[in-house]
Amino acid sequence: MIENPAGLLHGWLRAHAPKTFATINAEPDAQGIWKLAGLRYLAPMMWEPLTAEASAEMRAWLVKLCEESPHPEDPDGLAGTPSADFRRTFLPIASNGSGDFLYVDERPGPETGCVCLWWHDDHMWKKLWPSVDAMLTDVLRGLRTGEPVLADHVADMAGGEVVWRYAD
């Protein structure tokens, strides 16, 4: 059986970064990205995976917030395209604790499932990875090899803890 990227990352952290691994507060039966819930700094820019329950609550809140002051000129495009509003088809998967999110774009189109950035201050949008598995694989590769993640962040391992910094 081939283990999924979330399981591989979970195992790598347990073996190589026990302090970071200890921050995981996922339910014992959680799967996929939810298996990493609470992980302190999953990826550069201090992203912490949400639980499935927190994701659903956050999606409802963000959609409501955007519906209160919508951008009528913003059509609901295809997956992987910009949106000024947070859509019901956006599934938040990680937060930086400041109102910004990584989300999975579930709109139809060739890029369905891509992982994007939602920056709350200016509703900045940016596609970061083609899928959750690609994100987790990229993070795991960066941890294993020391190569940059998102082209400009590397992980330092200090005392069993993962700390992300800009690459030199």
pLDDT band at 115 (very low <50, low <70, confident <90, very high): very high
Range of the domain at 46: 5-166
pLDDT of residue 1: 47
* Whether 164 contacts 44, CB under 8 Å: yes
pLDDT tens figures, 36-65: 998 888 887 788 999 999 999 999 998 888
Q: Residue 47's beta-bridge partner residues?
A: 43
Question: What is the pTM (predicted TM-score) of this model?
Answer: 0.89
- Total domain count, the chain: 1
Q: 103 pairs with which residues across the strands? A: 92, 116
